[in-house]
Amino acid sequence: MNKATTLLLMVSSLFGQTVNSDTFDHLKFRNIGPAVAGGRIHDVEVVPGSPEIMFIASASGGIWKSNSKGTMWKPVFDDQKVSTFGDIAISQSNPNVIYAGTGEQQNRQSTSWGNGVYKSTDQGESWTSIGLEKTFHIARVIIHPNNSNIVYVAALGNLWDASKERGVYKTTNGGRSWKKILYIDDQTGVVDLSIDINDPSTLYAATYQRMRKTWGFNGGGSGSGIYKTIDGGSSWNELASGLPQGNKGRIGLATSRTRSNIIYATIEHADSSGFYRSGNGGRTWNRMNKLNPRPMYYSHIFVDPKNDDIVYLLATNFYRTVNKGKTFNEMPTRPTYDVGVHSDHHTLWINPTNSKHFYLAGDAGLHETWDYGKSYNRLNNIPIGQFYGIGVDMDIPYNIYGGMQDNHSWVGPSATRHWLGILSDDWRQIGFGDGMYQQPAPNSSILYNATQNGNIVRVDRKTGNIQGIKPFSADPNDKNRYDWVTPILLSKQSPNRVYLGGNRLFISNNGGESWSKTKDLTKAINRDSLAIMGVLGVDTKISRNDGTSSYGEIISMDESPLWFKILWVGTDDGNVQVSKDGGKNWEEVGKNIYGLPSDSYVSRVIASKSGRGTAYVTFDRHRDGDWSPYVYRTNDYGQTWTNISDGLPSGSINVILEHPDNAEVLFLGTEHAVYLSMNSGNDWIEFNSNLPTTLYDDMVIHPRDKDLVLGTHGRSFWVLDDTAPLAEWSESLD
């Protein structure tokens, strides 16, 4: 009996039952990796007294536990509501107790948010939410070294809007209640927290004023600074002597384990950024070095537990000083496996009894060294890849392509005859940089491979020939803008027609050899005139727009499957454009959506097979502090729209997909789950099955096999075999 028949019997047996999220529990997805290239990891912790047991906390792929020193891993947080973490902490006095702070502390445009603090009392096997649900991003969790019920939390707070749920929080009863013990203002949170283990009533806190919007980033203000308490948080004093004056940005902190008065800091400042040291408990500071690479994204420092003259600074590269910061040397990251140690480092666990042994983690997973970083063991066997865009070809079995955050582009088989299943060796790198959308041409060896900011190449998979095909203008005043995740699209009706989205729609009818372009389809807003935290973009001095290279670009586009001249475009500044003549003329129809706030980010627009004038559009407004779901349908080329968001929970919508065999069957990918509609979006149910909580950024149904392929930004690829019976069942319900 083939898989389609099996699935059909399953769903047929459900006739007469109410359709809800439990209806499809028998339909299981396959997680096929890859794990060969890791995703972003924010923390590594090893259980005291049990070095074989360790945990990693990922940016968007949950918490993973190993009982074998990293040889094998299992996810231990999949049944919770979020998958993004800033920090975890294991109690030194009771290693069964672990606290986890959700919401990553980095400030990327793709950063996801959390819902407070979780606690485990069985060494990570189960978790309970213990509050601070509205803090959004938790940067640090500190457990008192002698009492697992006393915990301090550094809450950064909402990245995209003002909120009072930020600062330093403390519990003395294991999380049953919390008290805010340090608060600056509703735009300033706490990005780092360090405790003096020799005197646990002494703590240092780094406050951080920052905010991101769709159009840019402001990474500093008067709220940023360093504070100290000597009474467990009852009172705090700001430390300023020797530190740069005026507005500061992100600050990293680290205290000595051997001498209480030694503390180090990285300070972001318009004029005096660098590495600072205090030898008297923070009363005065000295700038030791100017080194402080891209502080908005890094600012991570770690002191050797045996020698506080040795400090590690993590950034794009990995640095070490042995003389208190007077000089830094770049640590060697020589390849010891196929791709070696990737750049972009975020956390370090140093063995407290053997400083030569440490775990280094960051954007590309986990590495281990036993010789001060001269050589590494690569422990990338955790499928936490952060994919932006995916594609499938028509091989047998078909291959899946994906572009990954900071880890290039990859291709691997959807199935295999190997008794062990799909292996890491089955995956091949096919591109460089930050991989984005991947579009293999049907019945051809050609692949269109996109990387960050509009770079696109055409790859011949058989010969290996690579040709850059990004459109350029001969006019220096005619500058194009591209989003970080630049969309590319192949026509389903003409194999040589390629679409590329910038501020204009670029169209090629010869595989990218030449391009035509439309008019600017965005609002063309000058972001320098827009304010973040009361400061105009043109006046921003610290980490100005870091991570957002430009504003006013196409985020999504589609060609009607019924007529190639019907084109749809959605932009990051709120335009929904439609053309009925192949891109010569356009009408902005987003203005016709009743009740939608202006300038809303279009996350996806798709043309329906049910009618030439039918399309769906989703909006994501979380960068405006709005977590309402926005999904709309039009049947008349956008003249009128129907809101089909009822039944969806709060949170951003990333992607919508229509089943090719039945236009009434829709799939929706959100920041945490997948949703299914059997009636064109009038009703939605969570399509959870065995899927983990993570970010679902892209999805595709294979045109031949009808498999549903999910590209996640945190848990690699997931496949549901043969969804054709779902389409047939939906028709039988009419």
- Residue spans per domain, the chain: 1-33+652-734
What is the DSSP track for 66-94? ESSTTSS-EES-TTSS---EEEEEE-SS-
Long-range contacts from 395-401, C-beta under 8 angstroms, 24+ separation: 398/702, 398/704, 398/705, 398/707, 399/440, 400/32, 400/709, 400/717, 400/719, 401/430, 401/438, 401/440, 401/447
Long-range contacts from 667-672, C-beta under 8 angstroms, 24+ separation: 667/699, 667/708, 668/618, 668/631, 669/696, 669/697, 669/698, 669/699, 669/710, 670/629, 670/696, 671/112, 671/622, 671/695, 671/696, 672/81, 672/82, 672/83
pLDDT averaged over consecutive 10-residue blocks of the chain (734 residues)?
47 54 85 91 97 97 97 96 98 98 94 98 98 98 98 99 98 99 99 98 99 97 99 98 98 97 98 98 98 96 98 96 97 61 93 97 93 89 96 96 92 93 91 91 93 94 93 83 96 94 98 97 97 96 94 98 98 99 98 97 98 98 96 99 96 97 97 96 93 98 98 98 86 56
pLDDT of the residue at 337 = 42
Whether 46 and 71 have beta carbons less than 8 Å apart is answered as no
Judged on CB neighbours under 10 Å (0-12, 13-18, 19+), 242 is: middle
Whether 32 and 336 have beta carbons less than 8 Å apart is answered as no
pLDDT of the residue at 41 = 96
CA proximity to 386, closest of 43, 109, 712:
712
Give the pair of three-digit tokens for residue 579. 């053309």
Question: Three-state DSSP class for 41?
Answer: strand
CA proximity to 456, closest of 479, 493, 492, 486:
486
Whether 404 and 355 have beta carbons less than 8 Å apart is answered as no
Across the strands, what pairs with 571? 554
Q: Is the dihedral of CA 132, 136, 142, 143 positive or negative?
A: positive
Judged on CB neighbours under 10 Å (0-12, 13-18, 19+), 589 is: buried
pLDDT of the residue at 17 = 52
